[in-house]
Amino acid sequence: MKRILSILFAVQLTLLPLTALADVVFSVDNDFYERHKDDCVPVNQSFCFPEGEITLKKEPDSEFEVYTPAYLFATHGYYVDCAYNHGGALWGYLSGVSHGDSYAGWIPLEGAMLAYNAAGFERDYRDAFYDYPGGDEAVLERLEAAEHLIFWLWPCSGRPVYGDSWHFPPMNNVADFREAGDYSFLRTFRDDEGREWAYFSCGWKAGWICLDDPENASIPVTIDHPGPWEWNMKDYPLGRPDRPDNKLVWTIVLICVAVLASAGLVLFLWKPKKKTEQA
């Protein structure tokens, strides 16, 4: 019995490193990207996609989907790190963290539109910005009567942000601004309809407020300039055929070696002792 327990214990010790190795091998966020990153071309642009929701694939043209947070909507615009030319079709690699959920996968770039964002607005309209007469206090006095302020990514964007989802502390009205204390209104802008907007910063929070209609969450979209991305395919050479995953190959080799070693150890420990001849 002791001999059998010794054998089982020895086999267990032999196989323990393999379990740790398996954890390392299969912990890669996106295995296809790891194998083909040398064939990928940087894109570094934000895009909107034709469909209403984003569905990420494990690899280009794959049937297998990877976990995609439900609130990743195609119209919001997401950052594409790089692109891979898979048989003449470009696929973009998306990875990031949203609301605490991480994601990494591939999405076809056919029909993708450049996403307009707050940085684009700052770039296109900076010459129209001006300082509000009277400074921060004058802005707050103008907003004093509003009970629930609406914040925007940029004026006339159709993209309200934060609102009730802003906590610790909440930012819903002038009283919240005064309580936070660390705020400033950095620039002002007037849109084509004559509405005046102010951009504020308060700690890690920032956004635009329509001074003429601060509680209206349905201000029409008039400043939004997405456009098609002109993909120059000569800049995206065809990716090389899939190469064997060396990590997986070595895992198989080590498993075979471990099994053979275990079998040899079993035979060595199980070898019966020769009976001593009686005198």
Q: Where are the domains of the chain?
A: 2-25+246-270, 40-115+226-235, 118-210
Task: Name the band, by pLDDT with cuts 50, 70 and 90, for residue 11.
Answer: very low
Residue 76 contacts residue 64 (beta carbons within 8 Å): no
- Percent of the chain clearing pLDDT 90 (strictly above): 27
User: Which is more confident, 30 or 51?
Assistant: 30
Its pTM stands at: 0.53
For position 10, what pLDDT does the model report? 44
Other Cβ atoms less than 10 A from the Cβ of 109: the count is 19
CATH class of residue range 40-115+226-235:
mainly beta
The per-residue pLDDT for range 54-111, each reduced to its tens digit, is 788 999 988 888 877 665 655 567 788 899 999 999 999 988 776 667 888 999 988 8
Supply 193's token pair. 């309809």
d(CA 110, CA 271): 67
pLDDT of residue 54: 75
> Lowest-confidence range among 27-41, 64-78, 244-258?
244-258
Per-residue pLDDT, 266: 56
* Interatomic CA distance for residues 184 and 199, integer angstroms: 8
Q: What is the pLDDT of residue 48?
A: 79
Q: How far apart are CA 41 and CA 239, in angstroms?
A: 10
Cβ proximity of 130 and 111 under 8 Å: no
Mean pLDDT (the chain) is 76
Mean pLDDT of 236-244: 74
* 44 HSE (CA, 13 A, CB side): 2
Distance CA 81, CA 95 (A): 8
What was the pLDDT predicted at 55?
83
